[in-house]
Structure 1
């Protein structure tokens, strides 16, 4: 007990040493003044005892306030997790500012942790959905292998689907750190579109879909890898939801790309929500392979690159996707 009291007294003195140092300096100045003036020592001691009484009263008040704050902080230190930082009324103005800074840092860390948890949950949900989706082409390949009916054309199609699912998973992960994986350059839009069309040529042939692209070309300052992913998602959606007919791709001189199909279209009540994460709408309910992430990622990527996208559609008539490359703000 004595050791504890002695330890508290030392801590208190280390916090308020300047008060007692000032008192001792005042006492020494008073002694020097008395000696220099040849005054009575009794007068000096009378003043000294009065100062000691005042110092004792101040010490008691300060120690009471200090001990309350010290006890509260000790209790906080003993807790395994500090969820909220309680306010201590005995702090000085500077100490209150430090406390506010600590609270601000604590809130920032809580927001960061919440964001990390949300990202982890998104990735976990996507992994589960991705595992379900990729089973379909793998099952097709496995069935062809078991029955001995392996066809080069069908195998190429299923491998293309698997590759697209893998690419979407990688892009979804990269999207979380978009600004760390970006390289702006002056690129040809026409060249990127034709490359995607070439990769999907087997799908066009398999579904007997006509595809056309005009000759006009324009350049845009963007990231070629991210932009190619956008074109892949939009064109593959057009192929997937167009049972018959054609897909027209038009590059305009106002820096817009229009991708128009004659597919099943999108219901009007689904259009406002097609860019929401995980939203599949009516078309997604009739197509079990829909993830609800493709258009969400397309919209987010284009916004980050400073571009824009709008979609117009009519059921059983077709869908028109307009990608606007008139640079706005790069995020």
Structure 2
């Protein structure tokens, strides 16, 4: 940013010359002057009008402009208080400019972060606005990501220890105790359930880790969605039978896809697993397709709008399934991140106690319905 103190120190400049000068600068500039009762706005350069939107006809003084830039009263008072404190600190240090970061509301209603710096030249206040919106938003995104990653590591670590501890306890019991054949079969059933849970957790953990360390690469090929569904449903055959869930599949309209088969399989596996988990006994799951969507619909317990919002915002939440199945709360978040990885979108429609419909939209994937399926 140009330091207007250099202008003051080098030569005497008239107001009209100063206006011409600041109109050439690449960022928004405002010139105002101390009056007896208020700070009068004298000039907004063209970049101020173009990028922030307000003109002198909108705000003849700085108080009015402040109300426009910060329409939310509490935030405005906070900014004004910060500005006063900075002014006091600047005077104490003998400096001649005040600087602050704030989120402005443009005339269009759009909110943007700016670094605001005010200098005083011959009684005129020269206020420059430098757009830092991209940097601030990136920092906020990184902060949210770090917090979310820490939370996920804690969740995965805790939930991975629990089933492994149970397996050790069951194994110890089988080794040390004299048990009947019936008790042994029952224990083996629990071992199978716990082992399946551990495998799911490990799979989720490794996939999440690969996503976060950017080691997951595209490996696109021609994929038959029917084959992916067939392989996934083999894994959940026992779960479907134990809850007597009927599943109907009609996806021929989708045809073949040119996409990463591994990533798509993980997405489909997580979505089907969730449908089974949250569909009650004797429920129904429909898997269908349009020309560019794979749709998984169930008549399960559904989700509230608040739950959907948490998923779309990449926040964690978990709950038990209809048969008290344990969840780790990262499945749908992982699905959403993976979908973005292969240039797909996730569409969620749900209503509490009415079921959930989730669609994978293949907008940016090559869909070729004329290729022969292998």
Pair in the same fold by TM > 0.5: yes
Residue 144 (str. 1) matches residue 170 (str. 2): yes
Query: Deviation at 1:274?
Result: 1.9
- Listed as ranges, the gaps of 5+ residues in structure 1 are 1-110
Query: Is the 1:123–1:173 Cα contact (8 Å) retained in structure 2?
Result: no
Matches within 5 A, 1:248-267: 248-267=285-304
SS, match of residue 298 in structure 1: helix
Matches within 5 A, 1:193-204: 193-204=229-240
Which is strand-richer, 1 or 2? 2
Query: Is the 2:243–2:282 Cα contact (8 Å) retained in structure 1?
Result: no
Query: Is the 1:153–1:202 Cα contact (8 Å) retained in structure 2?
Result: no
What is the CA RMSD across the aligned residues, in angstroms?
3.5
Q: Which position in structure 1 is the counterpart of 2:337?
A: 300
Measured at CA, do residues 317 and 245 of structure 1 come closer, stay the same or move farther in structure 2, by a change above 3 Å? farther
Q: Which position in structure 2 is the counterpart of 1:13?
A: none
Matches within 5 A, 1:1-331: 122-148=148-174, 150-178=186-214, 181-214=217-250, 216=252, 218-280=255-317, 289-327=326-364
User: What is the CA–CA distance in structure 2 between the aligned matches of 1:231 and 1:166, rounded to whole Å?
Assistant: 17
User: What is the CA–CA distance in structure 1 between the aligned matches of 2:340 and 2:231, rounded to whole Å?
Assistant: 23
Query: Deviation at 1:166?
Result: 0.6
User: What is the CA–CA distance in structure 2 between the aligned matches of 1:295 and 1:164, rounded to whole Å?
Assistant: 14
User: What is the CA–CA distance in structure 2 between the aligned matches of 1:328 and 1:275, rounded to whole Å?
Assistant: 21
User: What is the CA–CA distance in structure 1 between the aligned matches of 2:339 and 2:251, rounded to whole Å?
Assistant: 24
Measured at CA, do residues 147 and 262 of structure 1 come closer, stay the same or move farther in structure 2, by a change above 3 Å? farther
Q: Which TM-score applies when normalising by structure 1? A: 0.57
User: What is the CA–CA distance in structure 2 between the aligned matches of 1:118 and 1:266, rounded to whole Å?
Assistant: 24
Q: Which position in structure 2 is the counterpart of 1:80?
A: none
Superposed CA offset, 1:40-69 (max 9, x none)? xxxxxxxxxxxxxxxxxxxxxxxxxxxxxx
User: What is the CA–CA distance in structure 2 between the aligned matches of 1:192 and 1:297, rounded to whole Å?
Assistant: 18
Measured at CA, do residues 135 and 209 of structure 1 come closer, stay the same or move farther in structure 2, by a change above 3 Å? farther
Which is helix-richer, 1 or 2? 1
- Listed as ranges, the gaps of 5+ residues in structure 2 are 1-136, 175-184, 367-374
User: What is the CA–CA distance in structure 2 between the aligned matches of 1:160 and 1:278, rounded to whole Å?
Assistant: 25
User: What is the CA–CA distance in structure 1 between the aligned matches of 2:334 and 2:297, rounded to whole Å?
Assistant: 20
Query: Is the 1:245–1:263 Cα contact (8 Å) retained in structure 2?
Result: no
Q: Which position in structure 2 is the counterpart of 1:28?
A: none
SS, match of residue 270 in structure 1: helix
Query: Is the 1:273–1:279 Cα contact (8 Å) retained in structure 2?
Result: yes
Q: Which position in structure 2 is the counterpart of 1:5?
A: none
SS, match of residue 279 in structure 2: coil
SS, match of residue 126 in structure 1: helix
**What is the total number of aligned residue pairs between the two structures?**
221
Superposed CA offset, 1:271-317 (max 9, x none)? 22223323317779xx8944332212211211221111111111112
Measured at CA, do residues 177 and 112 of structure 1 come closer, stay the same or move farther in structure 2, by a change above 3 Å? farther
Query: Is the 2:148–2:315 Cα contact (8 Å) retained in structure 1?
Result: no
User: What is the CA–CA distance in structure 2 between the aligned matches of 1:281 and 1:295, rounded to whole Å?
Assistant: 10
Measured at CA, do residues 297 and 136 of structure 1 come closer, stay the same or move farther in structure 2, by a change above 3 Å? same
Q: Which position in structure 1 is the counterpart of 2:65?
A: none
